[in-house]
Amino acid sequence: MAFIVAIDGTAGSGKGTVAEIIAKKFKLTNLDTGAMYRCVALKTIEEKIEISDTEKIIEIANSIRIDIKTENGKQIVYLNNENVTEKIRTTEVTKIVSQISAIKEVREKLVEMQRKIGSGKDIIMEGRDITTIVFPNADIKIYMDADVEVRAKRRYNQNTEKGINTPYEEVLEDMKKRDFNDKNKEFGALKIADGATVINTSELPLKKVIKQISDMIKKHKKEKELEKKIYAIRPENTRKKVVRKITKSFLAGLYLLAFRIEILGTENLPKQGGYIICGNHVNTLDAAAIVLLSKDKIRFIGKYDLSRFGLIRWLAHLFDIIPIKRNTQDMEAMKRSLKALKNNEILGIFPEGTRNGIDKQVKAKNGAVFMAMRAGVPIVPVGIQGTFKPFTKIVLNYGKPITLEQYNMQNKEDLETATKVVMDDIIMLTNKKK
């Protein structure tokens, strides 16, 4: 799975320097997308094409070949097999590159190239619309900025080192014009993406910028490694079945010692085929009651964060719990759930999405009824009664299966109505006395 660090920001904010250092530190492929637009600008100048002649500029973008390679630790830019690393940094190129990048067809072509280059790789990519257009789902999204005077001074010093003697005032004015053009483009405008971390480098030393971004990358990589472990699927084999049977018997024994259990309505449980058990959620141990005290194998959909802990993660893999990231459209959880139901398995779901949701008057989620409709299976409501204090009584009261053929899963009102029907039965079963 590719790991993508995307950096957007204003000219002279330090994106290129930071990207180069981070790329070396974490062994990422470094792609300076601004260099690609500069290649188009350079070719436009060499061909003596007017900036207003967009058709010919588009032809250039569609015909040139751009290669960005790392040689001796440095990024080298090739335009039609010619090393243009220095040429694309001239004042002439800088003055028109913002206008070049504002041409829709040029952006579309280069964005296509950028995505192709970055596909399947661990990369760091910097530019103006990387976090918003090119890779909006990047693992790390950063927006770098600095006061325009600071950025102009940096660019002036860089030019001086290269022997370019442009007056500071001219550099500052060009920088302001470029900022305006970059932020007001019709396509690919520079802006702060949702979820991006903003770093102002005006007075922040380079070392601190590198440390801040490095810490973000380390944290995210650690999270991705944990995510792999949580979403890993342990194959169903004889050893797993035996370990699950022994573990289930042991834990069920402890459960029966800790609580006085009464189970009602087991005659309502379908004898064959997959179905969904939906109950009220009163305690962290109520799902365990349903799973451990049933003769059948029941797979619960469980909160992703619980599986961060080693022992719980081991149990989750053993009992094939399906992890779900709450308050997100977790398509992986949906796919696994539907596959299980189509394989005639039994799923457990708490529609409240949180403990004591009924008492808190939390609106029940409609994911359970949607999956039941999609898989063509019934929902069995269960009312759970008890405080779950040691040696107190716990009641599991199963109701009659609810079929949902009369509802349309594409209709939001139908989903809401069906969810209310399920929740009404759960509440009735919860309040029903022995």
Give the three-class secondary structure for 124: strand
Q: Do 272 and 418 lie in a common domain?
A: yes
Burial class (CB in 10 A: 0-12, 13-18, 19+), 55: exposed
Q: With a cut of 70, say whether residue 244 has pLDDT above it.
A: yes
State the alpha helices, DSSP H only, in 119-237: 148-161, 168-183, 206-231
Domain boundary pick from 230, 264, 295? 230
CA separation (Å) from 162 to 83, 86, 89, 153? 17, 9, 10, 14
Residue type, 364: A
Top pLDDT among 353 and 112 is at: 112
Q: With a cut of 50, say whether residue 434 has pLDDT above it.
A: no
pLDDT value, residue 68: 82
pLDDT value, residue 23: 92
Task: Give the containing element (helix H, strand E) for 251.
Answer: helix 238-258
Radius of gyration of the chain (CA): 30
Query: Residues of the chain with pLDDT > 70: what percent?
Result: 99
Q: Do 160 and 72 lie in a common domain?
A: yes
Average pLDDT over residues 207-232: 93
Average pLDDT over residues 129-147: 94
- pLDDT tens-digit readout, 289-342: 999 999 999 999 988 888 888 899 999 999 999 998 877 778 888 999 999 999
Q: Do 191 and 42 lie in a common domain?
A: yes
Average pLDDT over residues 133-139: 92
Q: Do 201 and 330 lie in a common domain?
A: no
Q: Do 346 and 202 lie in a common domain?
A: no
- Contact present, 25 and 73 (Cβ < 8 Å): no
Give the three-class secondary structure for 260: strand
Widest CA span in the chain:
91
Close Cβ partners of 287 (under 8 Å, ≥ 6 residues apart): 281, 300, 302, 348, 350
What is 276-340 written as a DSSP string? EEEE---STTHHHHHHHT-SS-EEEEEEGGGGGSHHHHHHHHHTT-EEE-TTS--HHHHHHHHHH
- Strands across the sheet containing 29-32: 29-32, 123-127, 4-9, 140-145, 197-200
Give me 71's structure tokens: 């040689």
**Mean pLDDT, rounded, of the chain:** 91
Q: Do 223 and 256 lie in a common domain?
A: no
Q: Do 251 and 365 lie in a common domain?
A: yes
Burial class (CB in 10 A: 0-12, 13-18, 19+), 69: exposed
- pLDDT tens-digit readout, 389-421: 999 999 999 999 999 999 998 889 999 999 999
Other beta carbons within 10 Å of 381: 28
User: How many Å apart are CA 399 and CA 63, to the nearest integer?
Assistant: 68
Query: Residues of the chain with pLDDT > 90: what percent?
Result: 68
Q: Which CATH number belongs to the domain containing residue 425 in this structure?
A: 3.40.1130.10
pLDDT value, residue 433: 56
Q: Do 200 and 270 lie in a common domain?
A: no
pLDDT value, residue 257: 96
Q: With a cut of 90, say whether residue 353 has pLDDT above it.
A: no
Nearest alpha carbon to residue 365 among 407, 313, 321, 327: 327
CA separation (Å) from 219 to 35, 123, 139? 30, 17, 11
The number of distinct structural domains making up the chain is 2
Highest mean pLDDT among 72-86, 227-241, 250-264: 250-264
Q: Which CATH number belongs to the domain containing residue 88 in this structure?
A: 3.40.50.300
Close Cβ partners of 39 (under 8 Å, ≥ 6 residues apart): 64, 66, 77, 79, 84, 88
Q: Do 174 and 253 lie in a common domain?
A: no
Average pLDDT over residues 118-135: 89
Close Cβ partners of 299 (under 8 Å, ≥ 6 residues apart): 319, 320, 321, 322, 340, 345, 346, 347, 348
Q: What is the SS3 string spanning 334-382?
A: HHHHHHHHHCCCEEEECCCCCCCCCCCCCCCCCHHHHHHHHHCCCEEEE
Q: Do 309 and 191 lie in a common domain?
A: no
Q: Which domain holds residue 281?
A: 235-431
Domain boundary pick from 230, 246, 271? 230
Cα-to-chain-centroid distance, residue 7: 17
Domain boundary pick from 189, 207, 230? 230
Q: Do 76 and 165 lie in a common domain?
A: yes
Q: With a cut of 90, say whether residue 4 has pLDDT above it.
A: yes
Highest mean pLDDT among 59-73, 275-289, 321-335: 275-289
The band of 207, judged by pLDDT with boundaries at 50, 70 and 90, is very high
Q: Do 221 and 241 lie in a common domain?
A: no
Q: With a cut of 80, say whether residue 51 has pLDDT above it.
A: yes
Q: Among positive and negative, which fits the CA dihedral 210, 216, 219, 224? A: negative
Q: Is 38 left (phi over 0), alpha (psi -120 to 50) or beta?
A: alpha
Q: With a cut of 90, say whether residue 347 has pLDDT above it.
A: yes
pLDDT value, residue 1: 59
pLDDT value, residue 373: 95
